[in-house]
Structure 1
Amino acid sequence: MKRLGLGGLFFAWLYGVPFLLVVGLIRRTSTPYTPTRDAAQAFGATTDALLTAGLVLNAALPAAGLLLAALSGEPTWRRHFGWALGGMVLVYLGVALAGSMATTTLIGHDPADQESDPPVGHCVPISGGRGCPGG
């Protein structure tokens, strides 16, 4: 049972974390059709949640796996999770590289909404002697 648990933890890190980060980065670089500001904020919040979960799990899963493998006396899994700590650093470097190449911040950015500007219903006088048309 403990080998199954350690294997599940390892493969959750190996496949789950990159999945969350790739999906988050794809969502961050896409230009979604968000008709309203609320939809744009919801899209940005979901993207932030994916990226944050990926980054937190990238640190938590290898550390927890190494601790559990050491406590259960599994030298093979201890070695796997030891290498996973090195992979964790590589994942953070990859995300930092993607963040440095991006035009906006990776976390905390709301895409622009596609809502059109409301029509102007009143005249706004401009300085310089030009008044409103029609008086």
Structure 2
Amino acid sequence: MKRLGLGGLFFVWLYGVPFLLVVGLIRRTSKPYAPTREAAQAFGAGTDAVLIAALLLNALPIVGLWLAGDADWSRHFRWAVGGMVMVYLMVVLVGRMATGVLIGHTPADDEPAPAVTQCIPRSGGRGCPGG
């Protein structure tokens, strides 16, 4: 049962972390349909949750190395710690190349600009448009 658990832990890290990172980065760079500011904030919060989960799950090789008792799984998890460091370096590189922050970004909403319903005259000879 322990070997099955270690295998599950290893494959969750091997396939789950890159999947979550790719999904999070695609969501981060996409233009969502967010008709209101609240919808845009919800989309940004969902993207942040996916990226944070990927970065937290990236530490699974350390847990696996701590739990592994036999030499085979210890070897797999030692190599995975190197891969874990490479994933963190890749995220830092992508973050430096991006034009904005990876986590904490709220996309623009599609709300129309409010219509001007009242004219307030200003001094200096410029009156209200239209009379």
Aligned to 2:76: 80
**Corresponding residue of 1:6:** 6
In structure 2, the CA distance between the partners of 1:26 and 1:133, relative to structure 1 (3 Å rule), is closer
Question: What is the identity, as a one-letter code, of the residue corresponding to 1:113?
Answer: D
Offset of residue 125 of structure 1: 2.9
The residue type paired with residue 68 of structure 1 is L
**Distance 1:26-1:127 versus aligned 2 partners, 3 A rule:** farther
Q: Which runs of 5+ in 2 are unaligned?
A: none
**Distance in 2 between the 1:41 and 1:83 partners?**
38
CA distance in 2 between counterparts of 1:67 and 1:127 reads 74
In the alignment of these two chains, the number of paired residues is 131
- Seen in structure 2, the aligned counterparts of structure 1 residues 5 and 123 have a Cα distance that, compared at 3 Å, is same
Query: Are positions 1:119 and 2:119 aligned together?
Result: no
Normalising by the residue count of structure 2, what TM-score does the alignment of the two structures yield?
Answer: 0.95
SS in 1 for 2:65: helix
Q: Where in structure 1 do 4 or more consecutive aligned residues deviate above 4 Å?
A: none
Q: State the match for 1:30 in structure 2.
A: 30
Gaps in structure 1 of 5+ consecutive residues: none
Distance in 2 between the 1:76 and 1:41 partners?
45
